[in-house]
Amino acid sequence: MSLIKNPLIIALDVDTIEEASVLVDKLSPYAGAFKVGMQLYNYEGPEVIRILKEKNVAIFIDLKLHDIPNTVAGAARVLTRHGVSILNVHAAGGKTMMREAVKAARDEAAKTGIDCPLIVAVTVLTSIDQEVFNNEVGINGSIQERVVLWARMAREAGLDGVVASPHEIAAIRKACGNDFVIITPGVRPAGVIANDQKRIMTPGEAMRQGATYLVVGRPVTASPDPAQAARAILEEIK
Ligand SMILES: O=C(O)c1cc(=O)[nH]c(=O)n1[C@@H]1O[C@H](COP(=O)(O)O)[C@@H](O)[C@H]1O
């Protein structure tokens, strides 16, 4: 969507509208979009979307919808009314769930004249490593194989793209083509702490692999100078 002016999406993982507003005011010159996830949305509700949109920034609503198809379709339909730029669902919810979500969002957009968000599927979370994937999540095979399978499935269901770690970007690009949107969290500038992220790369490496958008939270928002941290990432991916 045209409102997203560069590949850097900043994750607003804070509790309140006040904290989010401070970050947006500091970072809007450098961010292509801001991500509102389960922490901020579950405390402040849809009001946070309205207030941030008044600042004329693009919003990625990250609620990782995962439920039966009818329930996810209903959520995708009402979230579309907020006029967000990106919305996500879990690929693990299956193809019918994804297809119904896309249909509900597109129908609502056509009915209301609101732009339809890009709809993307979360694949294997970037905090999961191969051992946890096999032994705790309980899925056999490599993470990469699974991510590519789910990316193909998302594409067949009519989604615009996926969320995946930088490690799978090249394989997804090969399987799903150049127009497929790949949103990549698990991004850490060189020397920055990984926190709970397991499958990481630097911003420059992730873009060279073929990412469409990078999602970055703590390396920017927890920095003593968030604007400088964001500027440095933009410089690195130029
Ligand atoms: O869907 C997401 O955005 C997401 C998927 C994923 O696999 N990994 C992941 O970290 N994210 C989100 O991306 C952001 C990463 O934040 P930092 O680790 O602070 O950079 C968080 O808001 C996560 O919720």
DSSP 187: B
**Token reading at 209:** 């692999």
Task: Report ipTM for this prediction.
Answer: 0.99
Give residue 185 CA to ligand 1 midpoint distance, Å.
Answer: 5
CA–CA separation, 2 and 35 (whole Å): 16
The residue behind tokens 């799903």 is 176
Q: Is 62 a catalytic residue?
A: yes
pLDDT band (50, 70, 90) for residue 2: low
Is 1 a residue whose pLDDT tops 70? no
CB atoms within 10 A of CB 234: 16
Give residue 125 CA to ligand 1 midpoint distance, Å.
Answer: 8
CA–CA separation, 43 and 204 (whole Å): 34
Q: Is 25 a catalytic residue?
A: no
Would you say 27 and 2 are in contact if contact means Cβ atoms under 8 Å apart?
A: no
The pTM of the full predicted model, rounded to 2 decimals, is 0.97
DSSP 93: G
Of 190, 183, 231, nearest to 60 by C-alpha is 183
Would you say 101 and 76 are in contact if contact means Cβ atoms under 8 Å apart?
A: yes
Per-residue model confidence as pLDDT tens digits over 111-155: 999 999 999 999 999 999 999 999 999 999 999 999 999 999 999
